[in-house]
Structure 1
């Protein structure tokens, strides 16, 4: 935390009204100062104010690299910045994955502003993970989530392939494909192909 106990906050969210409203709410709180906000991480991290950032509030579904990539990169290059994920998704798998990548906290956008302020101050006071630890957690947390074969099957699911078509393309039995699809659903904690695609996209597994 820098500067006489003031926590310097940056906000990354691609919804202008939400981002600007949040900046106004936080800026009115004693002890907090919003130094930058933008629709993409680069919009705040490439500014001259970036050096002062203590806490970055990061949305999940943004243009560009997935959130876990941004978080892991910050753990390597700016371990002094605490990242709080602020998303509309109540997704346990997403939460575990982003915390493993090095996020300090994970909150939904239904969180009351008073609690958000408390969590920001707490995040600024806590020591972020070291870069080596964050890299290890990120590799373990994302690579082990789905096997290479499960990812291969999932990518074909995103192309609207049926189980029979996937089996023919990969040279597998239909029963084997069904098992892989089931495992993908189980690991992502979803119950449909559409939900699996959405979850995998948020996690950055399809990049």
Structure 2
């Protein structure tokens, strides 16, 4: 397995040191640099070429969201995970709109961060489960279909399932989130695809993006 090259960006030295020590325990994750500011991070990224940047939102000077925007403009292939204390859905939405692929709270357990890094490295979106639940609360009302005049509106529960499918969760993970069986989720998935006239998962992701349920 190839090593996942990481840069840590946080204006607190103790946080950087703690994260570096934490990640050193994982044989497939290698911290190749750290920065205490957005400006320093941009310079480091140009030379170090990391796979993933762990980026704090609240920093002095250039904040994390501004830094994220600059990273994606300069190096669009580099993946960014926002590692933050903010449990605010608006920060999550702003981060993903700017190009983040992960959102993890600083108080999260070690294995949550490990899983987030590996998930994002694999090209999938990762949102910590507690934040995903907050996102789901915004999916109470069914959205009008726009893909075709022949599509049918989704129920509130179908919208929740669609959101989690589009975010890359497996049937088992969705079942755990919504406290139902995996077979029930498979049934929901079938109904959603039938209503939206979708043939594959990528069609559902495209629909979710078009509806503004998730951001690209």
The TM-score normalised by the length of structure 1 is 0.56
The corresponding residue for 2:49 is 52
The corresponding residue for 2:29 is 32
Residue 99 of structure 1 pairs with residue 118 of structure 2: no
Match of 2:3 among 3, 6, 24: 6
Residue 85 of structure 1 pairs with residue 95 of structure 2: no
Distance across 2 between alignment mates of 1:88 and 1:44 = 20
3-state SS of 2:82 partner:
strand
Please provide the CA RMSD for this pair.
2.0
Residue 41 of structure 1 pairs with residue 53 of structure 2: no
Using CA pairs under 8 Å that are at least 6 residues apart, name the structure with larger relative contact order, 1 or 2.
Answer: 1
Structure 1: unaligned runs, 5 residues or longer: 129-207
3-state SS of 1:64 partner:
coil
What's the offset of the Cα at 1:63? 1.7
Contact kept in structure 2, 1:35 and 1:49, CA below 8 Å = no
3-state SS of 1:46 partner:
helix
The TM-score normalised by the length of structure 2 is 0.53
Distance across 1 between alignment mates of 2:89 and 2:47 = 30
Structure 2: unaligned runs, 5 residues or longer: 126-216
User: 1:143-189 CA deviation, whole Å, 9 max, x = no partner?
Assistant: xxxxxxxxxxxxxxxxxxxxxxxxxxxxxxxxxxxxxxxxxxxxxxx
The corresponding residue for 2:149 is none
User: 1:59-82 CA deviation, whole Å, 9 max, x = no partner?
Assistant: 111122232221122112111211
Distance across 2 between alignment mates of 1:15 and 1:24 = 15
3-state SS of 1:56 partner:
strand
Match of 2:118 among 118, 121, 141: 121
Q: How many residues matched?
A: 125
